[in-house]
Structures are given as C-alpha cells and as structure tokens.
Amino acid sequence: MLETKKSIMGGDEREHRRLAMTLAAVLLLGAFQLGEGELKGNYSKLSGIIIPGFASTQLRAWSILDCPYSPLDFNPLDLVWLDTTKLLSAVNCWLKCMLLDPYNQTDHPECKSRPDSGLSAITELDPGYITGPLSSVWKEWVKWCIEFGIEANGIIAAPYDWRLSPSMLEERDLYFYKLKQTFETALKLRGGPSIVFAHSLGNNVFRYFLEWLKLEIAPKQYIQWLDDHIYAFFSVGAPLLGSTETVKGMLSGNTFGLPVSEGTARLMFNSFGSSLWMMPFSKYCRADAMYLKHFSGGIRKGPNTYQCEQKEFQSNYSGFSTNIINIEIPSTRGIDAYPSVSEFSQTNYSSMECGLPTQLSFSAREISDGTFFKAIEDYDSDSKRTLHQLKKSYHDDPVLNPLTPWDRPPIKNVFCIYGVDSRTEVGYYFAPSGKPYPDNWIITDVIYEIEGSLVSRSGNQVEGNPGPASGDETVPYHSLSWCKNWLGPRVNITRAPQSEHDGSDVQVELNVEHHDEDVVPNMTRSPRVKYITYYEDSESIPGKRTAVWELDKANHRNIVRSPALMRELWLQIWHDIHADSPSKFVSKAKRGPLRDDDCYWDYGKARCAWPEYCEYRYVFGDVHLGQSCRLRNSSADALLHYV
C-alpha cells in the first residue's frame, strides 16, 4: 500500500515536472523575432536541420540482386549501409551495391543504392540490439531534443549520398535544390529561421550549398535569404583544411572497423567521388570558381585560377605540422621517371645509390593539386582515375573548388566546435608491398600529433611544426582550428570543466588580441579534468557573432554524442531567446544538472550530489541509488541562471 502511494505521488511529481518542462519548452520555442543577431519578439519556432558526416547516412538498395552461395539476397529498400549481416555473409554482393564507377560515379550494373530519408536515416546506421549502439550517430542528439520538448517537425534531417562528389550530389539527386526547399519549408511551417547542425563532411556539404545558393538567388537577395532562413550555424568536427587520414584510405585502405581487408576498403573508398573532398590542402592557396558571381550583378565565366601566397613556398608543410606523405619509389629509371615533379629541388630526393628506392615527400598542396598522383602514376594504376576525378569534380567545379580554405560563412551566428588533445595521425611513410593493386602500398611508419608534439609509431620524437594541441583522432588540429581565423579582432577566452561545476575551476582571459592566427590561452589544466575552452568575440564583425569551442578528448565520431556539447548547445540557444540578456554568450560561471541523467549519488556524503538541483526520489524499477536521484520540480527555473 505504501509503495502504491509512493508510486502515485511519484507520478504526480513527474506530471508536475513534465508540465514545468513543457512550460520551459514553450518559453524556449515560443514567440521570438530575429533581430540584430538576437532572438526576440514574434516568430513562432525554431527548426534544427542536421547535415550528417561521411558514412553517417543509411543507404538502401534500389535493385534486385541474387547473391549466389548465400541465403541472403538484396531486394529494393534492403539496408546496404550498414547491414553487417549481409556484409559478412555476401561481401561480393554487398560491394556491388556500394561501389561506384570511378570515372563517372554511376552505379554498378547489377545493383544501385540510394540514401534513406528522415531522422531514422542518421540516428543508427545498423539498428539492432547489439549493432544499434555500436553504429549510433545522432540518436542521443535526437533524444535530447525530445527530452527538452522539441516537436517532431522541429528537427529535420538532410541525409545525402556521401559517396558522391559535390557536383554529382546536385546532378543526380538535386540535393542542394532540395536542401534550399527544406529551409524554405521549415520557415513556412515553423514561422522562424533554422539552426544548422553539421558534422564532419556535412560542413563541406553546407559550404558548397552556400556557394551554390549564390547562383540561384539574385545577388542583392542572397544575404537577406540567409538572414531569413538561417539563424545560426553549429559546425562540429569540420575538416576545414582536410583530413590526413583520407590519404591512408586512398593509398592503403582504412577499414573503419568493418570486417573487410584493407585492400577491399581501398577499392571501395577510391570508387567514391567524395574521397577527394576530404583531402588535405594548403591554407595559403586559393582558387576562383569558373562562374564568378558579382553582387553588383551578372555572371562572368572564365578559366579557374589557382594562386598561392608567398608563405606557401616559405613554409615547409603548407600550414600543417609535417609532410603528409613520405613514399619510397623504385628509382631504376632515375629522376626522369618523374617528369611531373621535375621542378622539385633536388633536396626532395634522398641521396641514395642508383637502383635503390627513392623517397619523395609531399605537402598538403602537392597532394591537393595533383602533383603527388602524377609522381606515382607509373607505379599506381589508380592514379589516373584520381587525377581525372580531381580535375573534373574539384579543380574545374563551376561552383567552388572545395580544396581551398573556407572564409567565415556569411551567417549571423557561427559556432565552430571540435575535439582536441587526442592522438591524431598527421603523416605517413609508404613503401611498395610487391603485391598488385589494391594492396600495392604498405604503411611503414605513422607520425602522430599528441598534445603539442610529433611522435612516430615507435615513440620517437619527430621534427616539424606541431600546434599547441592535437586533433580529434581523425582531423589534425591545424585543420580543425582554422575557424579561429573567423573570430573578431578581440576575443574573450574561458576555460571550464566539461562536467557540472560550481565555478571554482573556471579561468577567464578578456580582450585577447587576435590577428587572423591561432589564439592560445595562457591557462592551467588539472590532469584529471576534461575542459571546454571557449573563444568568443569580444569585438566582432558588425552584425555577426562567432565562437569556437574546444572540447578536451572528444573524438571525431563521438563528439555529436557528448552530453557536455549537447548541454552547451541547449544553454546557448536558451540564452539567445531572452532579449534582456546582458551578454552575447551564455555565462560559463556555473553548470548544474539539467536532466535526471546528470544527477548521481554521492557516496561520501550519503545523499544525491548537487542537492540544490537534485533530490532522492525513488520510482518503482530503480535498481541503484544513483538512478533514484532526479531533478527537483523547480529545475525549469534553474535555466534562468543562464540568461
């Protein structure tokens, strides 16, 4: 009887809490108006548009394929990416549905795959009791939105075929045309602008969309369209100068944990036009598009121009920490075997006797402009295909050469977020394996960046130009941190713990001068604490607001599932809807629990931690003390501390 009474009381409390949370959601998603970089007044609701990263959208079969020697066939709408059961039992059939023609990006004659649609296409790649959690991408993100009262039509997924080059996305699927319609539909349906959440390659996709949009909208209406349809852009884990790991995938294969050989992985990866989209490139070289849009009106067509600043030739590594590729090639034909690199200085070749392997080193620029692939053309049968795709889909792209640095997007509010201080691959040593393609290269050594230093796979220190931090296990720090160039001339820097905190370990530096270069704070770290370091405009471009968030030890794939990141996103948006807020950014002075999952049992004090936020409240089915620690009914009021 007593348990029943407790259960009823718990139900009432949950109902009160649900009402309080609903009230908070109404306050958050209720009336507001888009002002000068702020939300206030009289729009109805925001929308969130998610653009996933590489290999983060489900692909489904659009063919009937009979698989011999296997009980599993492929039928229309069967899951292809990712169905580990069919991958294990019918790998040859599975590859037919995944591979594209390396020259024209068409499907295999026997099987074609197309991206799934809706949120289910990006939440879990391989749903299942065991495989679901292992392949979860945006599922936790969506759960947070639901928990805080976001309506079903308030979160919109923009999945795409991540195998295609940017121009083919539009040519085959009209992806950018549909994305434009998605923004316009969201504005009509919800009554307000959208917030863009892009992860990894999704940032490159969004960048291309912004350039494509210039050719679709009258010049004088372009900025107005952006202001009306996009309130903020949250860029997460963006490879702004490319990713060195792409080189490994192109030359030796990167399995990404799949049960396939590296050769098979290389064969598949190199058939994708998008493989070149993530190549590293120099921050000092830029190109004009074939169609130059003048905001004074008119379109001028002309040849692409690719120019590099003098710094490119004065620096050693194109703005990266080291040469990305060091490769041994048989030198039986001498230097004449490399006519495409005859302009290199003799120092690029190691002094070895005739007939012994010659080691060549290549920077990011020499990879992205095709010099490297021309140099190995006689020794790698795939180089011709790579050079064809590089010229057709990237260097000669009429909208944008994606292998060039990205200026700050012309959106009012930009937040660049990434992980730091994880061991990240930044350079490779390759040598011939003696086997045929696709297994003709092996990796003999790897260079890693680790918290401000460069080390080889054997642990030896390596000379180079390491940054003050390392990357996120996939993208190097120099590429991730490029967005610091988007900050204004003065920056406020705050470092705070990722977990809930009382403010005692918060460090602040105000009005730090910034001149289009990296900003490094003079702050201390506790070795056992993971921090978030916030770089926020103190003095910004008029009408614009920019922030950069660095999350310690947040790796590239899992950052979108980070509770700390989701909490900060929620609080920043909550802060923005209050017109009377005295600051441009949410306060970092204190962080308390926002969800039941944030409450836990403090065994040292024999009570729930954070008693001002959490209380012990048993609900039938709880199996441990921490599970019975829940937010107080007044937790919705706690959000007011962050205005």
Quick check: 139 and 123 in contact, CB under 8 A? yes
Cα 92 to chain centroid distance, Å, stands at 30
What does the block give as tokens for 299?
Answer: 């379109």
Give me the phi and psi of 81, to 5 degrees please.
-110, 105
Cα 374 to chain centroid distance, Å, stands at 30
Residue written as token pair 């003095």? 539
Quick check: 587 and 506 in contact, CB under 8 A? no
What does the block give as tokens for 68?
Answer: 């011999």
| Catalytic entry in 126, 161, 380, 472 | 472
Euclidean distance between CA atoms 634 and 629, whole angstroms = 15
Quick check: 427 and 326 in contact, CB under 8 A? yes
Euclidean distance between CA atoms 397 and 413, whole angstroms = 28
> Which of 492, 642, 638, 494 minimizes the C-alpha distance to 578?
642
Euclidean distance between CA atoms 23 and 14, whole angstroms = 14
Distances (CA, A) of 575 to 189, 473, 490, 565, 584: 24, 32, 22, 15, 9
| Catalytic entry in 47, 56, 165, 200 | 200
Residue written as token pair 């229309």? 76
Quick check: 409 and 231 in contact, CB under 8 A? no
Quick check: 74 and 100 in contact, CB under 8 A? no
472 is catalytic: yes
| Catalytic entry in 294, 458, 515, 516 | 515
Quick check: 207 and 23 in contact, CB under 8 A? no
For the purposes of burial, counting CB atoms within 10 Å of the CB of 432, is it exposed (0-12), middle (13-18) or buried (19 or more)?
middle
> Which of 345, 351, 311 minimizes the C-alpha distance to 331?
351
| DSSP codes of every residue in 159-170 | ---TTS-HHHHH
Distances (CA, A) of 277 to 81, 98, 241, 462, 558: 20, 18, 10, 28, 21
Euclidean distance between CA atoms 326 and 426, whole angstroms = 11
550 C-beta neighbours (distance < 10 Å), count: 24
Euclidean distance between CA atoms 416 and 487, whole angstroms = 10
Residues classed as catalytic: 200, 472, 515
